[in-house]
Structure 1
């Protein structure tokens, strides 16, 4: 069976060394490159084109921009964020940048390995502790929407929500709808205000609770 090629990026030498040792002991993985900051991660990713790139999002440099470029120009490369940050807004921002998964550094080695395999299969993986937190926040968002007045969506807003449900990024939405990314962001701001939510994940949850008198959510 062909091994899964990996690249690793972390600015803490001990953490990077630990990751190397972990994956060297697993025969199904091959580490093809390492980095210690956002710029090195981008260079390593574009040069070695690993199947999965494990990236510490708190490294020096613009890591979110690096993730976006790795996904856009790295071909088959999937990005798995590996971070001590358990804030849901940071996790959502990371996934919005193009990462396929988010694993907390307090997770077990087996969960990290499970995350690598999942994103390599094309799935989205969120570490269990954080997933539970997101589910609870979704529940609270649903309660906030249920308590609010009926909300109607414009056709364009419905189109954007439909594309969000397909996992589209702002850039992909802008391209398909032939509008600018800035315009997409403006629509997202309006949607969050209309639905009384704080981020795009809550927009999706809230949209499912809309009154039937609202505009339909368009499907492709």
Structure 2
């Protein structure tokens, strides 16, 4: 059974070359072609190709088209075929639901393999470039988890807010109706969590890392200044 494929690219010679080249593949059926983001949406609506191969650098908002197709037309898998080797861009569109990211300059067999791979429900990224993308995604995930681990408990937030006002441990204890020993315990926990050495650095780290939710760090600092 042939895989229905559509190509969208604003370079006429390249577009015709793709259609001509892959029309000769017995396992592919080219159902449509287009030149811009609007064409891409029309093609998906009218022909429902199983795989849509499109460039990012073409007239119209290709990113918006990708978002719409991945959300509304889930039976169509998208391969971005582009000269854009930005890792950030690749991660962005992969997060939107793109199934493949193939750099122009790849071999014809690579794109053919990408089409078959995404049709089978897997992800395809150009070899070499894939390693960079995966490493960047792992780094971002580690950073996200690290940031999440720095989130403060309600009591820790209260302690930090008082620190921002310049309160002493005794004043904090009185305000929160806890013992000074408990305040010292929370101070130790805060210094470990934020990887700092003293109460001043706790305040600076909390503000810099925005570990207090909903901008509370900024509001507390504002109250202290005022």
TM-score (norm 2): 0.61
Q: Which residue of 2 aligns with 1:81?
A: 80
- The 8 Å contact of residues 10 and 56 in structure 1, kept in 2 or not, is answered as yes
Q: Which residue of 1 aligns with 2:185?
A: none
In structure 1, what is the Cα distance between the partners aligned to 2:54 and 2:32?
A: 12
Aligned residues: 156
The 1:194–1:104 alpha-carbon spacing in structure 2 relative to 1, beyond 3 Å, is farther
Shift of the alpha carbon at 1:16?
0.3
Q: Which residue of 1 aligns with 2:64?
A: 65
In structure 1, what is the Cα distance between the partners aligned to 2:14 and 2:127?
A: 21
Shift of the alpha carbon at 1:21?
1.4
- The 8 Å contact of residues 4 and 28 in structure 2, kept in 1 or not, is answered as yes
Higher normalized helix content (fraction of residues)? 2
The 1:194–1:77 alpha-carbon spacing in structure 2 relative to 1, beyond 3 Å, is farther
The 1:141–1:42 alpha-carbon spacing in structure 2 relative to 1, beyond 3 Å, is closer
**Pairing 1:70-149 to 2, within 5 Å after superposition:** 70-137=69-136
Is 129-138 or 116-125 further displaced after alignment?
A: 129-138
CA deviation profile, 1:97-116 (whole Å, cap 9, x unmatched): 22111000011111111111
Secondary structure of 1:133's counterpart equals helix
The 1:39–1:154 alpha-carbon spacing in structure 2 relative to 1, beyond 3 Å, is farther
The 1:124–1:154 alpha-carbon spacing in structure 2 relative to 1, beyond 3 Å, is farther
Extract unaligned runs of 5+ from structure 1. Answer: 156-192, 196-220
Q: Considering only CA atoms, is the larger Rg found in Structure 1 or Structure 2?
A: 2
The 1:151–1:20 alpha-carbon spacing in structure 2 relative to 1, beyond 3 Å, is same
In structure 1, what is the Cα distance between the partners aligned to 2:2 and 2:138?
A: 39
In structure 2, what is the Cα distance between the partners aligned to 1:117 and 1:57?
A: 21
Extract unaligned runs of 5+ from structure 2. Answer: 154-208, 212-226
TM-score (norm 1): 0.63
CA deviation profile, 1:18-45 (whole Å, cap 9, x unmatched): 1111211111100111110000110011
Bigger relative contact order, structure 1 or 2, given CA contacts below 8 A and separation 6+? 1
In structure 2, what is the Cα distance between the partners aligned to 1:3 and 1:13?
A: 25
